[in-house]
Every structure is written in C-alpha cells, then in structure tokens.
Amino acid sequence: MVSAEAGIDRVLWTEAEVAARVGEVAAELAADLRARPEPAVVVGVATGAFLFLADLVRRVDVPLAVDFVRVESYGGGTESSGEPRITADLKVDVAGKHVVVVEDIVDTGNTLSYLIAHLEKKGASSISVCTFLDKPARRKVNIQLVGDGKFYSGFECPDYFVVGYGLDYAELYRNLPFIGVLKPEMYKKDSSN
Ligand code: PRP
Ligand code: MN
Ligand code: MG
C-alpha cells in the first residue's frame, strides 16, 4: 500500500502552520463568543469541516453546542455543480441562536449561501462563518452574514484544487494533516465530473 500523500505535488501549509493558524482563529472566535450572553451553536459542514471543527472547538473555551449538516456540491469531481443539496440536516434547534458555520473552504460560495438561507429559515438570530481556507478568486456568490455575524478565515487560498485537512478529491486525501496540491496526473481524464 502507498502512503496517503503519494499523489501530492507540493505542500501549501504544513501541519505546524495549520495548527498555528487554527490557534489564532480560535482565539479570535473565543473572544467574540465570550461576549455573547447565550451559547452559540457551531455547525460543521460535513464532510470537509470535520478536522478543522474538531481542532477549533477544543481551543474555544466557552459553552457551545456542536452539530453537523451535510451539504454537497462537488460529487466526485473538481467543479461545483452549483446546486448544493442538504443530505443530512441539523439535530440542534438553532431558533433564536447565534450560529457559527464552520467550513474547510469557501470557493464559489454556493454551498455557504445555500446553507445560510437554510439556517435563517430555521430562525437563527445571527450567523457567522468560520472557514479554514478562503478562495476569493473563485467566488460566484457573495456571502451574506446574518445579524452581527462575522467572517473568520484561516488562510487565503490560491486558485489550485487543494486537498488535505478535511478537503478531498473523490473522497480521498481528507486525512492528510497538511494542505497540499495534487499532482495533475491524479485527476480523472474526463472533464464531465
Ligand atoms: C466542498 C467544501 C465546501 C464546498 C465549497 O464540499 O468542503 O463545503 O465544497 O465550495 P463552494 O464554495 O464552491 O460551494 P463538497 O461539496 O466537496 O463536499 P464534502 O465536504 O463532503 O467534500
Ligand atoms: Mn464540504
Ligand atoms: Mg468535496
């Protein structure tokens, strides 16, 4: 068996750089959440956000709830379908709550815009977004926060298809502890994905 990182061309952020930046974002988020009267609901977008969420919340020392939604836009390929689908919904009631949506990456913005509208319909009183990577070069939809929500971001990502630290290509590479760029030959040849 080959190692998980066999298809990686180069590393953009090492495991140590990831950890350091997560600590900084967590400190910023913790300070803001501490100022709120009620516990927030931290909502991870499965699957990609699972590692960032786990590393983030254990560094945010305030009372908070954790839940997940599953929103999928990409299927097995590298291009957004532009039509996100919620394939698993929240367990926690977010009505009247401050929600912090946690993402691994904001690319076109389709996934987040769709999810924010969904959370607003469920009565969230304010919505922040905390994404590990932000790729503004690819944005198609502006992210509209709700109420006094804030946008937190780890790193601005250059316009490569990146994997690792939760991010996949065809469901693989999520377990890499760093963010890397795939070797071009790892992509499927057909462009219809
Ligand atoms: C990826 C990523 C974000 C979203 C960002 O999820 O994890 O959720 O796409 O792209 P966008 O801003 O263009 O919408 P994906 O649909 O691949 O599902 P996954 O998290 O299960 O990998
Ligand atoms: Mn995702
Ligand atoms: Mg994906």
Q: Would you say residue 90 lies in a domain?
A: yes
Ligand 1 pocket test: which of 51, 73, 151 has the largest number of ligand atoms within 8 Å of its C-beta? 73
Total structural domains within the chain: 1
Task: Return the ligand 1 atom nearest residue 46 CA.
Answer: 20
Instruction: Please give the average per-residue pLDDT across 59-82, as a whole number.
Output: 85
At 18-64, the pLDDT tens digits run 999 999 999 999 999 999 999 999 999 999 999 999 999 999 999 99
Q: Would you say residue 102 lies in a domain?
A: yes
pLDDT at residue number 2? 82
Q: Name the residue with higher pLDDT: 175 or 82.
A: 175
Q: Would you say residue 191 lies in a domain?
A: no
Lowest average pLDDT, out of 71-75, 97-101, 181-185, goes to 71-75
Q: Would you say residue 14 lies in a domain?
A: yes
Give me ligand 1 centre to Cα 75, in Å: 9
Rounded to whole angstroms, what are the CA distances from 97 to 5, 25, 43, 65?
A: 40, 21, 12, 10
pLDDT at residue number 190? 45
Mean per-residue pLDDT over the chain, rounded? 93
Characterise 21 by phi-psi region: left (phi > 0), alpha (psi -120 to 50), beta (else): alpha
Q: Supply the CATH number for residue 166's domain.
A: 3.40.50.2020
Give the residue numbers spanning the domain of 88: 8-186
- Read off the DSSP letter of residue 172: B
Q: Would you say residue 35 lies in a domain?
A: yes
Q: Would you say residue 171 lies in a domain?
A: yes
The structure's pTM equals: 0.94
Q: Would you say residue 193 lies in a domain?
A: no
Alpha-carbon distance 144 to 138, whole Å? 16
